[in-house]
Amino acid sequence: MAEQLIGKRVEVLDKGWIELIDLMPHPASKISGDLAIVNAARVSFLGESKGPDRDKKLLFYLLRHRHTSPFEMVEFKFRVRAPLVTWWQWARHRTWNMNAQSGRYTPFQESDFYVPDVWRRQSKDNKQASEGALAAAENDELTRELLDHYAEGFRLYSQALEQGVSKEMARLFLPGFSVYYTWVAKIDAHNLMRFLRLRMASDAQFEIRVYAEAINQRFFKRALPWTAEAFERYVLNGG
């Protein structure tokens, strides 16, 4: 199954996506990611695979008892397209290695802006969270105003470029938190699980939670089925 994951792209939000561009161990090696974790653990006493049942039992033991270093032997590399509001939260996880698109080199396009489906209300109990949604009429009005805002910002950006203003300065006219960027990001399985635990939580902001859920469902569970099962049991569900 891992052979089919590299190059697979999953659409997220209105214009975003996430694509797996590399995996270690590579599927061509014929060593599964779960087995690579087990082999890394057994190298402590120069052991090797002892069959699926015993290997899976060892992997579950490792995660249950927080012996995490073997999980660092598996790595995922993604290409991500997401709005800046997502990027700023993602970048807080400093265990990711990242390299991002630069607006100093590449001009933005008129469609490079995030348009939410629903406008969420501010939570009454949590200063940094939202809950519920505005009524349909209010939602539609705010979306029209947002699109007008984007159109005017992009008009001024394009006008500045036409006047010879540098790309690094012309982008000051663009609405900051909503513009889409593309970046490459790499992480090991241990730190990916920490990211997923925090960003799939119900109180995580929607614009990053949907990316975390896509990674979990479409890549992590398929690349590391034993690890994902143990992660769900011992970390997400506190087993």
Q: What integer is the mean pLDDT of 128-133?
A: 84
15-19, 61-65, 118-122, 235-239: least confidently modelled range = 235-239
Answer yes or no: is pLDDT of 33 > 70: yes
Percent of the chain with pLDDT over 90: 79
Mean per-residue pLDDT over the chain, rounded: 93
In CATH terms, the fold of domain 2-99+180-236 is Gyrase A; domain 2 (3.30.1360)
pLDDT of residue 32: 92
pLDDT-derived band at 51 (thresholds 50, 70, 90) equals: confident
Choosing from 64, 66, 197, 199, the catalytic residue is 199
Higher per-residue pLDDT: 49 or 221: 221
CA distance 102 to 87: 13
Answer yes or no: is pLDDT of 47 > 70: no
What is the DSSP secondary-structure string of 24-77? ES-GGG---HHHHHHHHHHGGGT-----HHHHHHHHHHHHHTT--GGGGG-EEE
- For residue 23, the surrounding DSSP H or E stretch is strand 16-24
Q: What integer is the mean pLDDT of 155-183?
A: 95
pLDDT of residue 93: 94
Is 199 among the catalytic positions? Answer: yes
- For residue 22, the surrounding DSSP H or E stretch is strand 16-24
Domain ranges, ordered by start, for the chain: 2-99+180-236, 115-173
Contacts of 108 by beta carbon, 8 Å cutoff, 6+ apart? 154, 157, 171, 174, 179
97-118 pLDDT, tens digit per residue, is 999 988 888 899 999 999 999 9
Its pTM stands at 0.92
CB atoms closer than 10 angstroms to residue 98? 16
pLDDT of residue 1: 65
Please, are residues 55 and 38 in contact by the beta-carbon 8 Å criterion?
Answer: yes
CA distance 179 to 1: 34
Answer yes or no: is pLDDT of 143 > 80: yes
80-101 pLDDT, tens digit per residue, is 999 999 999 999 999 999 999 8
pLDDT of residue 28: 87
pLDDT of residue 30: 83
Answer yes or no: is pLDDT of 44 > 90: no
Burial 18-41 (b: 16+ CB within 10 A, else e): bbbeebebebeeeebbbbbbbbbb
Query: DSSP E strands: which ranges in 57-196?
Result: 75-83, 97-100, 120-122, 130-133, 180-188
| DSSP reduced 3-state for 195 | helix
